[in-house]
Amino acid sequence: MTETALFTDELSCLLSGQYPDENGRFGPFGGRYVPETLVPAITGLEDAMRAALADPGFQSDLGRELSDFVGRPTPLTHARNLGEQWGIDLWLKREDVAHTGAHKINNAIGQALLAKRMGATRVIAETGAGQHGVATAAACARLGLSAVVYMGAVDVERQAPNVDRMRRLGAKVVPVTHGDATLRAAIDEALRDWVSDPGGTYYLLGSAVGPHPYPWLVREMQSVIGREARAQFQERTGGLPDAVVACVGGGSNAIGLFHPFLGDPEVEIFGIEAGGVGEDLGQHAATIVNGSPGVLHGCYTLLLQDPHGQVQETQSVSAGLDYAAVGPEHAFLSQIGRVQYRAASDDAALSALDALCEAEGILPAIESSHALAGARAYGKTHPGSSVLVGLSGRGDKDMATLLARSGGAA
């Protein structure tokens, strides 16, 4: 079979709903690697998810919350000034204006509705940059559920405003000091909690990672981004963009934006990972660009690991991209060549952040700024092209980091 035939065949399986398959795999990636004590909870979640997504009543409730609580549809903004500077026709899908300030609320409110449908009263979650934690706290407050959020101690310090927001929204925030004390450690701790009480606790996982059905469930909740963006772009321009670009850590905002465009062969798709400060292990979080296959947090995917299979610490100015693995669907899309994955350095992302602020009056999250850096790089080789960027969140949460890097000067 030729490489092109493999691409076409595998992509057809994905678009027709054959992936994830009955084992929760996207090609070789995905699956379910969990302790035996979690199997009933995981299978129960999958059954409940399938029933909910097929229930018009659940879909109606979700649609109402997305409209009345989240504020959807989010706008599509034509960034004319910055586009002229970069030599492209630049468009931004504005998840930064969704309630709580990022795309995370789409998944949080959907899963919180599912948790309530399943009879749960206690919800646990993990967070890196804090946006998923804030979204979980807000969704649980909205629906009358208690929330516990695990967060790496390093991220607690660098995302202090979001920690305060979570607590004000009624969530208990638990700093995690072991391991690398970032997102990976937070997920470890959330999984330990879940194992201790799988029957009475709902784990509201925030990214398109983890054991099946989470990568699929999160993609289903986040695909509203791409469905809206595709329709909005066609309405505004009469066509589709030449390229779609989003940042990738675990990959929830990216898979949500990408999925509705996967069947459009004329649209190039780019995922931008955290290039950090160098190419050596420990200097970045570019999992697809530099990783190798392995198992982490319940699924088989691409990891940053040493030759002995030991997962390595990561580095990024962005707390939300600072993760040593990636969602299995992204690993699959990279393998078949439908999505191209690149890395943007800390400096490139911060430069793009400053450019958007000054040209358009929009302060993006540092995570989103990696996607902007990717769009800028694309424009250098494709001048005049139309580029749609997923602006996954706003940068208010990052002001302490930005001030520290500028020496405290405004």
pLDDT reported for residue 1: 43
Please check whether the two domains, 33-67+102-219 and 74-101+223-405, share a CATH topology.
yes
**CA angle 59-125-215, nearest 5°?**
55
pLDDT, tens digit (0-9, with 9 covering 90-100), for 346-358: 999 999 999 999 9
Contact 282, 314 (CB under 8 A): yes
pLDDT, tens digit (0-9, with 9 covering 90-100), for 204-235: 999 999 999 999 999 999 999 999 999 999 99
| Residue 333 backbone class (left: φ over 0; alpha: ψ -120 to 50; beta: rest) | alpha
Query: Phi and psi dihedrals of 346, rounded to 5?
Result: -55, -50
Of residues 207, 318, 392, 397, which has the active-site annotation? 392
What angle do helix axes 214-222 and 328-336 make, rounded to 10 degrees?
Answer: 80
- The partner residues of 388 in beta bridges, in order of sequence, read 91, 244
The CATH number of domain 33-67+102-219 is 3.30.1490.100: no
pLDDT reported for residue 200: 87
pTM here is 0.95
Q: Is 126 a catalytic residue?
A: yes
Of residues 93, 95, 104, 368, which has the active-site annotation? 104
Where do the structural domains in the chain lie, given as residue ranges? Answer: 33-67+102-219, 74-101+223-405
Residues of the chain with pLDDT under 50: 1-2, 410
Of residues 95, 126, 220, 360, which has the active-site annotation? 126
pLDDT reported for residue 3: 52
pLDDT reported for residue 408: 58
The CATH number of domain 74-101+223-405 is 3.40.50.1100: yes
How far apart are the C-alpha atoms of 116 and 371, rounded to whole Å?
A: 34
pLDDT reported for residue 108: 98
Contact 126, 104 (CB under 8 A): no
How far apart are the C-alpha atoms of 210 and 365, rounded to whole Å?
A: 24
